[in-house]
Amino acid sequence: MSDNSTPHRAKEYDEEIRRTIPFYHLFHTETIDLVRTLLPSVSVWLDTGCGTGYLAEQALPLMPKVRFLLADPSPAMLDQARGRLARFPSADIRFLSAVATEELVGVVLETPQVITAIQSHHYGGEEVRRLATAVCYRLLEPGGLYVTFENIRPDTARGINISLDRWLRFQREADRSPQAVEEHRSRFGRNYFPITVAEHLQLLRATGFTVVEMLWLSQMQAGFYAIK
Ligand SMILES: C[S@@+](CC[C@H](N)C(=O)[O-])C[C@H]1O[C@@H](n2cnc3c(N)ncnc32)[C@H](O)[C@@H]1O
């Protein structure tokens, strides 16, 4: 039984996620690179669905003055994040227990210039994603930057099968158990709900962002950024 909405228990999360999703570390390096280019003097950065705090761990050595608001609905993930980030005793970090709904609005008492949501908004279907995106938009400072990475749905049934075959082969070669790999195929559209690249771009535009761009694309994952 997992203790968050991913299939991985928080303690094993970091190792397992890298055997599950190709190029995972690039999601974070691409995000940080974009922030450093666009908003190098960001003072408040909210990471929603922060998981074990990997993004903040990578960003802090480069941007030590940023106040990080790390939000996640899973207490076990927040505990892992606290433990991981204890090695930055002088960093300004707040840990917030919240899902990206009104609950997040209730606990974020500042106005972030950057909000990131990496692989956190695809668990509950269309309405959850729409609401989470709207909440991030509302919380963000005008001119601020929103970055999201998500699993994506290829445009055709054939494309979905081809991409899933490639994805599952990656997992087998990364030594995931055959059972976990098979379960992964059955989770598509049942436990997580990918939308197409076009639908992602459209959702960000419809939410109100003025600049909407693709940041990164791989087999079945993509990154997007948007400016309020
Ligand atoms: C796949 S993990 C990603 C963690 C982290 N962002 C990373 O890059 O490794 C997804 C995280 O999102 C959290 N989560 C799930 N649904 C969420 C929601 N609706 N709003 C905010 N966080 C959510 C989970 O508890 C989990 O920690």
- Predicted confidence (pLDDT) per residue in 156-191, tens digit: 999 999 999 999 999 999 999 899 898 888 888 888
Q: Is the CB of 193 under 6 A from ligand 1?
A: no
Distance 49 CA to ligand 1 centre (A): 3
Distance 118 CA to ligand 1 centre (A): 7
**CA dist., res. 42 & res. 113, Å (int):** 6
Distance 92 CA to ligand 1 centre (A): 21
Q: Which of 38-52, 111-125, 203-217 has the lowest mean pLDDT?
A: 111-125
Tokens of 44: 């408040």
Residue ranges per structural domain of the chain: 10-227
Q: What is the 3-state secondary structure (H, E, C) of the chain?
A: CCCCCCCCCHHHHHHHHHHHCCCHHHHHHHHHHHHHHHCCCCCEEEEECCCCCHHHHHHCCCCCCCEEEEEECCHHHHHHHHHHHCCCCCCEEEEEECCCCHHHHHHCCCCCCEEEEECCCCCCCHHHHHHHHHHHHHHCCCCCEEEEEEEECCCCHHHHHHHHHHHHHHHHHCCCCHHHHHHHHHHECCCECCECHHHHHHHHHHHCCCEEEEEEECCCEEEEEEEC
- Predicted confidence (pLDDT) per residue in 29-47, tens digit: 999 999 999 999 999 999 9
**Average pLDDT value over all residues in the chain:** 93
- Predicted confidence (pLDDT) per residue in 2-37, tens digit: 445 665 667 788 888 999 999 999 999 999 999 999
Please check whether residue 128 is in contact with residue 139, taking contact to mean a CB–CB distance below 8 angstroms.
no
Q: What are the residues facing 39 on neighbouring strands? A: none
**CA dist., res. 58 & res. 19, Å (int):** 19
**CA dist., res. 60 & res. 85, Å (int):** 9
Q: What is the pLDDT of residue 38?
A: 98
Please check whether residue 42 is in contact with residue 223, taking contact to mean a CB–CB distance below 8 angstroms.
no
Backbone angles phi, psi at 149, to 5 degrees: -115, 140
Q: Is the CB of 123 under 6 A from ligand 1?
A: yes
Q: Is the CB of 32 under 6 A from ligand 1?
A: no
Q: What's the CATH class of domain 10-227? A: alpha beta
**CA dist., res. 203 & res. 77, Å (int):** 28
> Which among 5, 13, 69 is the best mutation to test ligand 1's pocket, defined by most ligand atoms within 8 Å of the CB?
5
Q: How many residues does the chain have?
A: 228
Q: Is the CB of 74 under 6 A from ligand 1?
A: yes
Residues of the chain with pLDDT > 90, as a percent, come to: 83
Distance 155 CA to ligand 1 centre (A): 25
Please check whether residue 72 is in contact with residue 47, taking contact to mean a CB–CB distance below 8 angstroms.
no
Q: Is the CB of 23 under 6 A from ligand 1?
A: no
> Which among 3, 54, 120 is the best mutation to test ligand 1's pocket, defined by most ligand atoms within 8 Å of the CB?
120
Q: Is the CB of 6 under 6 A from ligand 1?
A: yes
- pTM, two decimal places: 0.95
Ligand 1, residue 116: give the atom nearest the CA. Answer: 6
Tokens of 141: 């400072």
**CA dist., res. 12 & res. 150, Å (int):** 21
Distance 13 CA to ligand 1 centre (A): 11
Q: Is the CB of 51 under 6 A from ligand 1?
A: yes
